Structure formats: C-alpha cells, structure tokens
Chains A and B, each alone.
Chain A
C-alpha cells in the first residue's frame, strides 16, 4: 500500500477533481468568516446572482475590528459599525450561524472554532485570515484565503488550490522549565526564516510536540504562516480526542465512535516521504523574543541582536532599516531594554491556558510603573472561565487592564493601538512595522515572558524573576 503523510491523507480525501496542469478543485468542510474579509465577497456573490451553496458549512463571528470595551453599546467607529452590521445582515439573509458580539460564544474566530468543537481532525477549514492555520492543531488542513476565495467557498464550497509540498519539523526531547510552545515556534521560525516555509504545508511531530496541550499546539500551528507556510498540522491523539469529547459541535454517541475510529487513522504512515525535513532538540530551546520587523528575527533572550557580519546588498539594507525602525543597534543585548506596553491576547496566545500562565506568574506582584498592561481574552468563554477561576482578580491586583474579546492590539484595527515609538512586548504573532499601531515597535514573546516584562518593566527572561 502507498505510504502517505497525514497531510496527503486529508488533502486527497477532499479533491473533487484535478485540473490538468492546474490546481485541484478542493472541497472545504468548514468555512469561518469575520466582518473584515467577507463583505466584498458577499457583495460580489450577489452581483453575480449566486447563493451560498451550503450555508450550514459556514460559521461567522465579528472579531478583527470590534471594540474591546462597551461591547453592549453601539460601535462608535462608523466603518467598524458598518462592517459588523453587514455581517449580521448577510448571515441573516443566507442562514449562516453567527456568534455575535455579547453572545455566549463570541470571540476570535480561531479561538471559538476549537472551543465549540467545530474544528475536528481530518477536516478542511478555510477563513479569510492567515492564522486559520491554528486549526491544524487538530489534524485538520486549515489555511487562510483571500476575499475572492471566500466568494468561491460561498458559491461552490470549493476553492482552486495547487497542492503544497510537504515539510516535517520534528522536535524531540524535554523542554526546559519556563519554555513554552510560543518559544518553540519562535525558535523554529528564527531557524527557518520568515519565508523558509513558503510553498510547504508543515507537519509538526516529535515527543516535545506530542507532550503539549491542545492550546499549546494551537499556538504552534497558528504561526506556521509566519514562516510563509500555508499551514501546519499535528496528528490527532488522545489529547485531541479528550479535548473534543463533549464539546457542543463534536459528534455524540455512535457518531462519536465512528468519528474516533476515522480520526485514529489520521497519522503519517511509517516510511512516508516529505519533500523536506527539519529536526530540533527541545533542550536547545530557551525563552525567545523578536528584535526586528518580521517574526523570523528572533533570538534567545540571553543572546545579543545579530551583527551585520556576512550580510550585503539589499539584505543588509533591509536589516538595518528594520533595526532603525525598532531603535536597536546590531550586536547589542536585548535583555534589559525598557518596555512601555505588554499585550496578552490574540489567536496565538489568548486562550485560558495563556491567561492562567500570566496570572500565576504575576500573583502577588505589581506591574512596573512604566508599563501599561492589556489582557484581552480570546473569547467570552475564556473571559468567563478566567473570572470563575479568580484569574481576573489576580491580574487586576497586579495592575493589568482586562478588556473584552477580540483581535484587539494584535493588528490594531480598532482603538487598541500602541502609540508611535513605544515598545510593546506582545503574545501576538506579527512584529511588522506599524502592526500594533502606526510607528509602534513590537517584540513577540511567550505569555510567561510578557508577564515577566510586565513586572520588571524591561526585557526579562522569565526564569530570572
């Protein structure tokens, strides 16, 4: 029998047909939509006189551009309000399940999908958002698409996709204390670079990956796109099945048994081939932080910012441009840099486990005076749980400001912006110029590191607090 990778198994099961010297017609099981990348798709659908072919396969929530305060009131920003209203209108018109602002399951689309058990092993999932790769943690093929493709999924439940190549990244061994899954993925991206995964779909494997919780696995798959990869996935196992069991949309009774039997087949066959493989030792990974303007520009907190040695031409120019933006010099230590803001949240690290980690770390401590600390739960469910577990009290005593769920300062579409020139250590996924507000300077790190920075007011290794 042909030996297949997990990725091949899921991909091949969703090809309606292949166009000769062209893409595959690729069937989509679940389509998530939000208020920013869907309105033009709905508009064009209508212009062409088409309908949503399988509305029950689409789920909507407003997240990118919603305010994170006063969500029960009318949205002040006119365009944001229009986008959210359009989403409501379109969902109603086409019969699409909507988790609206203020309802029990509102939140960031990549947080609520798994929470509700909508995301399941073996599925194909797309959304007009590049961090759709998050859902790969369940052994699904999940990736971001553009608005034209959102329209395609509405009209036909398919997109035209050429099959990416296969990459496997294996991390074996035991992680040091204080090292989280965010550090693993920042470490991997620093090795492979912000473009090294382009053209590939990644499978993450190895004992260090298998030891992770579902939340931690989601953090890893979430940032696959930051290497340029379309997505990343992890073979489902007992951790996955236990997470899903009993979730609202998860199969029940006999359906569960049937699904489970299938899910257990979803792993890479022994001897199946990848186009490229990388292997890392978990023991080499330490708390990481980025110093530049793409997520590949990451180092261990104890290390110095790389010098320009060996760089030339446009490569060197781009590097210097990036450091100039950040206000850093080549060769200097990152540790001890003064910070102004910390942000805990986003589809990368806005889950309950992340909030627990921060709360546990700051318990009984106070944030530094120079720090403004924002914590934005990924969903209402996360918020509710954080309150129930007493985490919110702990965080507020430490000086953190809790806001309501949404994408918030991760991309700063709403008012949650870091001011120009200020430094933010953030649990989010991108440190691009202006990502967290025009002129804002972002350093990406784990929730633990962010908690440590909040306390000391400067870049700090969480193991040293």
Chain B
C-alpha cells in the first residue's frame, strides 16, 4: 500500500549494536495475530523492550530517552529468520524510515523496500564509526540521500554510497509499490500463463 515518499532523510539515530537480530526479536510470533495492519509498532522488540509484566526494561535502547530518530542502526545480519512482513511493519509503525547495517537478510530487505523503509548497507568500518560517534554524542545525525545513494555521518563528514536498483529507487522516491507496476502489465502475464 502507499507509503511516504523517500528523498532526503536527516535524522538522529537509534543504535542497536547486536548482531543477528532476527525477526522473532523484532516482533515475536505471538504478536502476529492481527488481521489488519495496525498497532505493530507497540510490540517492536517486545521481549527486549518489556519484561514479562509489560514494564519497560530500562537497559533497552528504545526505553532510553537519550536516543531517538527515524534511523535505526543495527549490527550485522539484521532481520534474519522468518518472512513475516510484520517485522518491517513494526519498524515503520514505530517511526523508523531507514535501517542501517553492514548486512541484511534477504527477505527482510525485500519486505522493507516494499513498504517504504530504506535498508542501507554500509561497510563494517563505517557501521562501527556510527556506533562510536553516537555513543560519544547521541545528537549525532546522519543524512541519507536516495537520489545520490549516499549516507553521510554529519559529525565526521564521512560518507559512503549504497546500492539500490533504479527500479526500487524510483518506487521509493514516488511512494509506488510493485502492484502498480504488475497491474500495468497484466495482459502480458495472462498471455504468459496461457502459454504454460
């Protein structure tokens, strides 16, 4: 469904240096029970964020008022595991528009792009630099520009380019999704099916 257009995002970041953050941590299976797409942000990182009584755990970054922003920066192999798009929904609904890591799981990356979250893959060194800078100063900002495909750490000025194919880039910039494209070539698809 339609999502907000993505052009230039300048924001402070929320650091989550843990590696292999899997989809069951992003949103545990027991919170996949809705039949509509709403309220998933409340359960983002549920079991790291709240204890079994539902009280916020003080040591988890989302409960630490020092950190906020529209960019989540996470350790390598982010989003591994299940194909649940609910993981991407939870991240989007919470308010993130961009996730930065040195490595993403495939399905999570696809799901993110399909709903308007930009996954930005950076080198491990750059990732470490972001973590270090944010630890020093939580008001550190990054700027993500989809047109030039660059991410810049504003405190040091270090910048890296990231990959995104031009089809997805246009989609993100315009808030389009794949259904719009597919419905436009429906006749080709029907002919293809008939030839099988």
Binding site for B on A (CB under 8 A): 16-17, 19-23, 25, 27, 29, 36-37, 39-40, 43-44, 47-48, 50, 53-54, 64-65, 77, 79-80, 82-83, 86, 128-130, 132, 144-149, 151-152, 155-160, 162, 164, 194-195, 198-199, 225, 228, 230, 293-294, 313-315, 317-318, 321, 411-413, 420, 430, 432-435, 438-439
Contacts and interface: CB of A to CB of B under 8 A. Distances in A.
A176 B30 CA distance: 39
A16 B47 contact: no
Main secondary structure of the interface of A (DSSP, over half): loop
Contacts of B193: 27, 54, 157
A142 to B, nearest CB: 12
Given A47-B1, A129-B83, A439-B52, A146 B107 contact: yes
Contact of A438 (B52, B106, B181, B183): B52
Nearest to A164: B106
Given A22-B166, A433-B24, A83 B179 contact: no
Given A155-B179, A314-B18, A430 B81 contact: yes
Contacts of A50: 179, 183
A306 B104 CA distance: 25
Given A40-B37, A314-B17, A148 B76 contact: no
Interface in B29-43: 29-30, 32-37
A43 B75 contact: no
Contacts of A156: 179, 182-183, 186, 189
Interface string B164-196: 011110000000011101110110111011001
A230 B30 CA distance: 24
Contact of A433 (B25, B34, B83, B104): B25
B69 interface: no
Contact of B29 (A22, A148, A412, A439): A412
B47 to A, nearest CB: 5
Given A40-B36, A148-B115, A318 B24 contact: no
Contacts of B185: 16-17, 25
B192 A434 contact: no
Given A40-B35, A158-B189, A194-B20, A144 B83 contact: yes
A318 B105 contact: no
A268 to B, nearest CB: 22
Contact of A145 (B32, B77, B107, B189): B107
Contacts of B19: 314-315, 318
A193 to B, nearest CB: 9
Contacts of A43: 35-37
Given A43-B35, A83-B35, A146-B83, A162 B165 contact: yes
Interface residues of B, number: 59
Given A146-B107, A158-B189, A413 B32 contact: yes
Interface of B: 1, 17-20, 22, 24-25, 28-30, 32-37, 47, 52, 75-77, 80-86, 88, 103-107, 110-111, 114-115, 128, 131, 165-168, 177-179, 181-183, 185-186, 188-190, 192-193, 196
Contacts of A411: 24, 29, 82
B75 to A, nearest CB: 5
A49 to B, nearest CB: 10
In the A-B complex, list the 4 residue pairs whose CB atoms are closest, starting with the nearest: A22-B167, A144-B83, A146-B85, A79-B33
A227 B51 CA distance: 30
Among B25, B107, B177, B183, chain A packs the most CB atoms within 10 A around the CB of B107
A434 to B, nearest CB: 5
Contacts of B192: 16, 27
A446 B103 CA distance: 30
B83 to A, nearest CB: 4
B33 A199 contact: no
Nearest to B24: A432
A357 to B, nearest CB: 27
A130 B85 contact: no
Contacts of A40: 34-37, 85
A18 to B, nearest CB: 10
A66 to B, nearest CB: 12
Given A146-B88, A146-B107, A148-B178, 19 more contacts: A19-B181, A25-B185, A37-B83, A44-B1, A48-B179, A144-B82, A148-B85, A149-B178, A152-B179, A156-B179, A157-B189, A195-B103, A228-B77, A228-B106, A294-B22, A313-B128, A314-B18, A315-B19, A420-B52
A17 B80 contact: no
A138 B192 CA distance: 23
Given A27-B189, A130-B82, A148-B114, A435 B24 contact: yes
A231 B80 CA distance: 14
A195 B76 contact: yes
Contacts of B105: 195, 198, 228
A318 B182 CA distance: 41
Contacts of B128: 313
B167 A130 contact: no
Nearest to A126: B83
6 contacts: A40-B37, A65-B33, A79-B33, A82-B35, A152-B178, A412-B29
